[in-house]
């Protein structure tokens, strides 16, 4: 009987725990872009940074839900 009644209750809405994102200032982003332009031999770093940016965007979206 309890199992049947338990199915009638509303389930709580689960919200993910969101760690704080590090805020990068305009100067830091400009310095990073300059370093990447200065070292065109760094092939993998831009790929990692793109993945990191995508993960940050997904985390922001998940935390707004």
At 10 the pLDDT is: 72
Q: In which band, very low, low, confident or very high, does the pLDDT at 58 lie, cut at 50, 70 and 90?
A: very high
Top-confidence residue, 57 or 9: 57
Say what the pLDDT of residue 56 is: 92
Instruction: With CA atoms as reference, report the closest residue to 23 among 64, 56, 62.
Output: 56
Residue 9 in 3-state DSSP? coil
Give the per-residue pLDDT at 3: 58
Reported pTM: 0.61
With a cut of 90, say whether residue 26 has pLDDT above it: yes
């Amino acid at each position: 009987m309890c199992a049947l009644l338990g199915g009638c209750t509303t389930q709580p809405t689960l919200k993910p725990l969101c760690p704080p994102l590090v805020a990068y200032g305009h100067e830091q982003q400009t310095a990073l872009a300059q370093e990447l332009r200065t070292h065109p031999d760094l092939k993998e770093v831009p790929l990692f940074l793109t993945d990191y940016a995508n993960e940050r965007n997904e985390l922001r979206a998940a935390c707004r839900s």
